[in-house]
């Protein structure tokens, strides 16, 4: 049996898990199905407590150098601004009172560059894990090597292999939840929306009962996410004319806007039946997926990785018994069910009901304590605090 912790998947969650284990001196092997790190932008919002965690791993400054600091976010309707919130109001609760907008693919390269000089770290690309068999003493994995199966055993395995996780599926762990009938279209453009939308900040949610959208600025680009109704076909949604119509719906001044990339995807709300089976654990999208409004997916996965690896380090060094690892499932799965899933669903409902949501926002901004509490919640500081109450 190998004497290393195995991590399946070299996305941001898997590599952060590796980085924290190595910080504690625990050897790590990462197996990645792809031939290289993914170049997909996907998640691009890093919340304040996540930035605190990345700072402890000494990978934050390069992310700040490549990203865009967003100290404020706002909610709007078609008529204008409903509320703007400033993370500076919760500076007593975090060392980084702002969001950072940067593609997750940049973080993975930053982390891998740092880990590559550590002699306790190894990564193998083009190594998809096809199956896992677990026991109380470890786990055997089956790796696809150019059509041939190679088997290895490890004392601990962390499945960070995404929403279609082979680790989760091979262990027969259910992925409970549902898929929304709508899809989301994300269009990237170098067009500067501040030229046509007054008082716009770099993170803006625009509520509308028929066609809400979300504006997110990253260095050099704006990403726009539109709701695509169930009756609108994939072919229609991905057509250039349709994207241009959506853009012109934001402002009539936006005719023939350059669009550099579009992605259409289905949106799920699912949580694994358990995050632990013997000595195998699930983190990130392998454990939970939710709609992206609020940016809780990748951030929640990084919080999973930190929670699990801190406990695993204590167990590996004999500071705590193995039953300590049950607290990972109790805390992180519970907070996903009780907070992240409910909040992400509510975020979607808010944008579909601008009148009701606008009235609630006016009540929040009128009360300093409610404003503070609201920022603690949307920053995910609150969910981390509440996790400690479970297990």
pLDDT digits (tens, 9 = 90+) for 206-237: 999 989 999 999 999 999 999 999 999 999 99
Q: Among candidates 343, 348, 328, which has minimal Cα distance to 272?
A: 328
H or E segment and range at residue 216: strand 213-218
Whether pLDDT at 183 is above 80 = yes
Question: Which residues are CB-neighbours of 327 under 8 A, at least 6 positions away?
Answer: 311, 391
Q: How confident is the model at residue 320 (pLDDT cuts 50, 70, 90)?
A: very high
- For the chain, list the domains and their CATH numbers: 5-70+96-176+268-387 (3.50.50.60), 178-267 (3.30.9.10)
Q: Is the pLDDT of residue 111 over 90?
A: yes
pLDDT over 70 at 59, yes or no: yes
Distance CA 169, CA 39 (A): 25
Buried b (16+ CB within 10 A) or exposed e, 332-360: bbbbbeebbbebbeebbebbeebeebbee
The pLDDT of residue 90 = 98
Specify the pLDDT at position 391: 67
CB 340 within 8 A of CB 379: no
Q: Who's near 325: CB < 8 A, 6+ residues apart?
A: 276, 281, 308, 311, 312, 315
| pLDDT tens string 8-17 | 999 999 999 9
State how beta strands 138-145 and 203-207 pair: unpaired
pLDDT at 390 exceeding the cut of 80: no
pTM for the full model?
A: 0.96
Residue 152 has pLDDT above 70, yes or no: yes
Q: What is the pLDDT of residues 323-345, one digit of tens each?
A: 999 999 999 999 998 888 888 99
Mean pLDDT estimate for the chain: 95
Q: HSE on the CB side for 331, CA within 13 Å?
A: 22
CA distances from 174 to 129, 277, 288, 365 (A): 18, 12, 11, 41
Q: Is 364 exposed, middle or buried (0-12, 13-18, 19+ CB in 10 A)?
A: middle
- pLDDT range class, residue 189, cuts 50, 70, 90: very high
Predicted confidence band of residue 1 (pLDDT cuts 50, 70, 90) = low
For the record, the structure tokens of 287 come out as: 């454990």
């Amino acid at each position: 049996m190998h004497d290393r912790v195995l991590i399946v998947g070299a996305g941001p969650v898997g590599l952060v898990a590796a980085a924290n284990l190595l910080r504690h001196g625990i050897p790590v092997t990462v197996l990645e199905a792809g031939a290289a790190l993914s170049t997909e932008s996907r998640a691009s919002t890093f919340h304040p407590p996540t930035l605190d965690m990345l700072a402890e791993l000494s990978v934050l400054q390069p992310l700040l150098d490549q990203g865009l600091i967003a100290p404020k976010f706002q909610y709007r309707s078609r008529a204008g601004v409903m509320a703007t919130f400033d993370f500076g109001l919760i500076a007593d609760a975090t060392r980084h009172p702002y969001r950072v907008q940067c593609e997750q693919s940049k973080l993975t390269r930053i982390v891998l560059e740092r880990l590559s000089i550590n002699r306790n770290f190894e990564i193998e690309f083009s190594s998809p894990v096809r199956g896992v068999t677990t026991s109380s003493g470890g786990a055997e994995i089956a790796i696809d090597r150019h059509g041939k199966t190679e088997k290895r055993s490890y004392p601990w395995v962390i499945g960070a292999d995404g929403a279609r996780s082979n680790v989760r599926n091979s262990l027969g762990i259910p992925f409970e939840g549902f898929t929304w009938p709508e899809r989301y279209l994300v269009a990237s453009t170098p067009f500067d929306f501040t030229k046509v939308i007054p008082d716009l900040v770099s993170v803006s949610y625009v509520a509308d009962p028929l066609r809400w959208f979300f504006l997110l600025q990253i260095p050099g680009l704006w990403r726009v996410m539109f709701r695509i109704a169930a009756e609108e076909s994939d072919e229609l949604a991905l057509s250039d004319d349709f994207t241009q119509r959506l853009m012109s719906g934001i402002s009539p001044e936006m005719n023939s806007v350059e669009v550099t990339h579009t992605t259409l995807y289905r949106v799920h709300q699912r949580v694994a039946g358990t995050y632990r089976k013997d000595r195998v654990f699930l983190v990130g999208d392998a454990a939970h997926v939710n709609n992206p409004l609020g940016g809780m997916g990748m951030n929640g996965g990084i919080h999973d990785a930190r929670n699990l690896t801190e406990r695993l380090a204590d167990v590996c060094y004999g500071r705590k018994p193995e039953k300590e690892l049950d607290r990972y499932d109790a805390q992180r799965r519970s907070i996903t069910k009780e907070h992240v899933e409910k909040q992400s669903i509510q975020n979607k409902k808010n944008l579909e009901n601008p009148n009701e949501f606008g009235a609630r926002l006016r009540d929040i901004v009128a009360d300093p304590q409610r404003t503070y509490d609201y920022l603690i919640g949307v920053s995910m500081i609150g969910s981390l605090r509440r996790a400690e109450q479970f297990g």
